Amino acid sequence: MITVSERLDGAVSILNICGKLSGGENYSLLSNKIVELLNKGYILFVLNLSEVNNADSTGIGELIVCLKRVKEKGGEIKLAAPSQKIDNLLHITNLERIFEIHPTERSALRSFGH
């Protein structure tokens, strides 16, 4: 189960994700939040993964769906502060090729010019 909280830093939506990114009862919670914000005109996102303790293939798939939706609107998603376990998973699945991954939320924000 995951929870997603949001806050804004200028034009950047920061989503703090907590729990396990996986299929199940909260599947699509993250992508629904992204769509909600896209519909409000936000296209720049930082996903703070510091409190994500695990992910399965469905959860990884949801990250990819989110990226696709944001890119379709001309936006960007940057991943921030993944735990060692999540960072390893992102590299094993070669997702570092499609996601910009930052060690901290601050560095992800700076990459947007904040």
Q: What is the CATH number assigned to the segment(s) 2-111? A: 3.30.750.24
Task: Inform me whether the pLDDT recorded for 45 exceeds 90.
Answer: yes
Q: What percent of the chain has pLDDT over 70?
A: 97
Which spans in the chain are helix H? 29-39, 57-72, 84-92, 105-111
**Which of these, 47, 65, 63, lies nearest to 55 by C-alpha position?**
63
Q: Structural domain boundaries of the chain?
A: 2-111
Describe the strand order of the beta sheet including 2-9 as a list of residue ranges.
2-9, 12-21, 44-55, 76-80, 100-102
Confidence grade of residue 1 (pLDDT, cut at 50, 70, 90): confident
Mean pLDDT of 43-64: 94
Task: Tell me the per-residue pLDDT of 34-44, one tens digit each, with 9 for 90 and over.
Answer: 999 999 999 99
